[in-house]
Amino acid sequence: MSSCYGRNIKISIFGQSHSPAIGVVADGLPFGFKLDTEELAAFMARRAPGSSDLSTKRKEPDSFKILSGLKNGILCGAPFAAEIENSDTRSKDYSQFKDTPRPGHADYTAQVKYDGFQDEAGGGHFSGRLTAPLCLIGGICMQILKNEGIHIGAHVERIAGIKDERFDPVNISPADFSDLSQMALPVLDSDAGAKMKEAILDAKELGDSVGGIIECAVTGLPAGVGDPMFDGMENLISSIVFAIPAVKAIEFGAGFDACDMLGSENNDSYIVKDGQVVTETNNHGGILGGITSGMPLIFRAGIKPTPSIFKAQKSVSLSEMKEKTLEIKGRHDPCIVPRAVPRIEAAAAIAVCDALLEYKKYK
C-alpha cells in the first residue's frame, strides 16, 4: 500500500476526497532554496476545478497551508509538509457506489481490496483531488529546476481525436511553456484548441466525456542524468505518471511510432553544434539507455475519458449479485485532460528533481 515515491525526494501523499484534509510530506528537498509561494499558488490554480466552463463547477480552492520545512520562507532541510483542507464535500453523493460500482472507476477494485473498509466518499484516496498534493511538490520541484536552467512544460496534444501540433523535439523553447501555462486549454495550435473545446462541450451536452493525450517536455537537462535498468528516466517518469488517475499509456520520444520505423529512420545522428554534441533529430526523446542525452526530454501520456458520465450505465449490485442500471448525478468534468496538464508537469518535475539529486552524488 504505497502512496510514497522517490529515492532522494521522498514524498508521502495522504488524504481522501472527503477526509478532514489532504496533503503531502516531502523529505529530501534541497535546503537553502527560497520558495515563491505565489508562483506555487498560481501553479496549483491551474489544476483546480471551477476555473473554466470546461470543468466541473465544484469549487476546490486548493489553498494550501504549509506545516513545516520552511524557515523564513526558505527550505530548511526538515521535511516539507503541507495540507489542503477539504471543505466543499457532499458525501451523500457517493454512498450508492459501494454497492453499485461505477464502470471505469476504482469503486469495485477498492471494495474488493479493502474488504469494504475503504472510504468511498468522493472516490476516497483514489480521487483526482489527491493530485493536488502531487502538484504542490511538483510545483516546488519546478521552481528548483528552473533555478538550474531546467524547464518543464506540457500541452494538450489531443482531445477526442482532435490533434494539436507537437513540440518541435529539437528546438523546443521554454518560452513556449510560459505561454501554455496561461491557457485554460493549453495548445500550440489555437484552431485545434477551439475544436477541442467544442468537442468537450458536445460531450458535456450529451452527458458523456472525452479523453486525450498530453505531451510534456523538459529542456535544459544535462546529459548523464538517470540510471541504467530500473532507474532509467523512462522508469522513473512512468512510475510516477501512472499515479495520476486516468493515465493508461505513456511513450517517450517517437514512442509507438518508432516501432514502425526502420533503424536508419529512427536512429538520431550525432552532430556538433555550437561546440556541443547534439542529435539532429530527437526520436529518442532525450533518453538513451535510461540516461539523458542533453536533448529535450519528451513524453506523451494518454488520458482515458472521465469515467463519470451522466448517461445510464450497466453495473451490478454487489450485495444482490445482479445487474443494475446506474445513473450518476453530481458535478463531474466532461474532460479531465486540460486540468491534467499541470499534473503531468508536476509528476515529471518530481522524477527529474529526484534523478538530478542522484546524479549529484557522483559528480
**Chain-centre distance of CA 138, in angstroms?**
9
Residues of span 88-117 touching its own copies by CB under 8 A: 101, 103-106, 108-110, 112-115, 117
With cell 521535511, the residue in question is 79
Distance set, CA 164 to CA 155, 171, 185, 259, 348 (Å): 9, 17, 11, 22, 21
Q: Which stretch binds its own copies (CB under 8 A): 39-47, 55-63, 146-154, 249-257?
A: 249-257
Choose which of 259, 274, 319, 329 interacts with its own copies (CB under 8 A). 259
**CA atoms within 13 A of residue 357's CA, in its CB half-sphere:** 17
Are the CB atoms for 229 and 290 separated by under 8 Å? yes
Report the greatest alpha carbon distance in the chain: 71
d(CA 34, CA 28): 15
Single-letter code of the amino acid located at 302: G
Residues of span 205-244 touching its own copies by CB under 8 A: 208-213, 223-232, 234-236, 238-240, 242-243
User: Does 268 participate in binding its own copies (rule CB under 8 A)?
Assistant: yes
Are the CB atoms for 349 and 138 separated by under 8 Å? yes
Write down the least CB distance from residue 362 to its own copies, Å. Answer: 6
Residues of span 312-331 touching its own copies by CB under 8 A: 313-316, 318, 321-323
Site string for its own copies, 112-151 (x = CB under 8 A): xxxx-xxx----xxx---x---------------------
Single-letter code of the amino acid located at 107: D
Choose which of 55, 89, 143, 308 interacts with its own copies (CB under 8 A). 308
Site string for its own copies, 27-46 (x = CB under 8 A): xx-xxx--------------
Residues of span 156-215 touching its own copies by CB under 8 A: 158, 160-161, 203, 208-213
